[in-house]
Amino acid sequence: MQFWQAIARTQVDQLVPIAQLVEKLGFSGVTMSDHIVRLQKIASRYPYSATGEMAADESTPYLDPWVLVGALSRATKTLRFMPYVYIPALRDPFSVAKSISTAAVVSNDRILIGIGVGWMAEEFALVERMFEKRGRRTDELLAVMRKLMTGEMVEHHGEFYDFPPVQMAPAPRLSPPILVGGHSPLALRRAAASEGWLGVNYDLEAVLPILHTLRDLRRASGREELPFDAAIALNTPPEPEELVRLEEAGVTMIVNPPLLCPTGEMSSFSEKRDRLEAYAARYIASSGA
């Protein structure tokens, strides 16, 4: 079992020391969020909270995840990085492939690509991307991205993207694994056809049926023996016996939620350090990870 730390909503001046600290404590990696802007008014429902509202305000920093990977990878040696989640359908496939390839190269292949199809219609409208067909466009965009990231001369002729032979450099030495977020039937089929699944804000009993469905989908498509990661952020800290149940069901990565104060306010570095050390002592040290 790998233990990852979410650094979403962390103050910018704390990001490097937090990354260095979690690496020292034995965490496998850190996750970051992705939004281009924050709108003043959002009618779209946030799918990962009971109220349907985002747990963020005007003070919340949203750094470009791949630029952030470049900075943090230079300050660490083994730590891995994954957006939780990145919305490729907000961009064009060439920009997506270039950003991810660059992050993979400068980090020495320490990235995973956590993606979703997006939920905020207003953000799609801002960048003039069609919200209604984002799922199909995401599927084709990922296919284009995989082609471009081979570093070979490639072309594509599809429903949304059509271009003559082109070649992109630099190309990553290894193809970064793609993990897909969401729990709709379409999202789970997309995840089962990729290298992993991401879950955000679940209760333990709610996530187990999802993991069973993913296993059935992978078995039906002949992918059951291929490498597959399942990352989950739970609503409440798990007990040791619950970690065993999750691992037996297929979970490979536990993501610790952002390090905020109980009030939801930003916390100091010393407060974060204390909480990280306590978490590492309880979970990482006892698991032998």
* Distance separating alpha carbons of residues 228 and 156, to the nearest angstrom: 27
* Distance separating alpha carbons of residues 280 and 268, to the nearest angstrom: 18
- Kindly report the backbone phi and psi dihedral angles of residue 253, in degrees, each rounded to the nearest multiple of 5, phi listed first: -140, 125
Q: Worst-scoring range by mean pLDDT, 28-32, 66-70, 201-205, 213-217?
A: 201-205
CATH number, position 34: 3.20.20.30
DSSP 3-state of 222? coil
Whether the link from the prior residue into 16 is cis, omega within 30° of 0, is no
* Distance separating alpha carbons of residues 206 and 202, to the nearest angstrom: 6
Query: Quick one: pLDDT at residue 42?
Result: 87
- At 37, the pLDDT band (50, 70, 90 cuts) reads confident
Whether the link from the prior residue into 177 is cis, omega within 30° of 0, is no
What percentage of the chain reaches a pLDDT higher than 90?
Answer: 80
- Contact in structure between 202 and 233 (CB atoms under 8 Å): yes
Task: Tell me which residue range forms the domain holding 31.
Answer: 2-287
- Higher pLDDT pick, 9 / 255: 255
Q: Worst-scoring range by mean pLDDT, 4-8, 262-266, 277-281, 282-286?
A: 262-266
Total-model pTM: 0.93
Please state, rounded to an integer, the average pLDDT across all residues of the chain: 93
* Distance separating alpha carbons of residues 288 and 231, to the nearest angstrom: 19
- At 219, the pLDDT band (50, 70, 90 cuts) reads very high
- At 289, the pLDDT band (50, 70, 90 cuts) reads low
- Higher pLDDT pick, 216 / 52: 216
The token pair at 250 is 């297929």
Query: Quick one: pLDDT at residue 161?
Result: 97
- At 66, the pLDDT band (50, 70, 90 cuts) reads very high
- At 77, the pLDDT band (50, 70, 90 cuts) reads very high
Residues making up the chain, counted from first to last: 289
Indicate the number of domains in the chain.
Answer: 1
Distances from the Cα of 103 to the Cα of 40, 109, 167, 170, angstroms: 31, 8, 18, 10
* Distance separating alpha carbons of residues 144 and 59, to the nearest angstrom: 35
Answer whether residue 267 shows pLDDT above 90: no
